[in-house]
Structure 1
């Protein structure tokens, strides 16, 4: 996820509450989706699709936020 921002992500972790919240929400969804797709948790296809859309929205928001922080430096 967002490999081009790896260095900035490392700098922000634990120091930027907005970033931490977005990053954690994205990671939680990623784990839930993997668990469902690998059969550890039962979710229907519609629920998985909703989670994937939310994960993509969070990724886009993270990318926008990281670009704005990067532009300020």
Structure 2
């Protein structure tokens, strides 16, 4: 989904390398989720029940809010 790419790709390009190994794994786990779940978390701003996924979703959203275009 294009909407997800707009959020996820800049995060990978600008922030992924600086993540801890645990957070990198969380990001990889995030990408293994269904697009429909990702859409709900990022577009509807719902929080995943899984604490690890909630952490990385929060980090991605914060990056999207604060990144320079």
Q: What TM-score do you get using the length of structure 1 for normalisation?
A: 0.39
Q: Which has the higher helix share?
A: 1
Q: What TM-score do you get using the length of structure 2 for normalisation?
A: 0.41
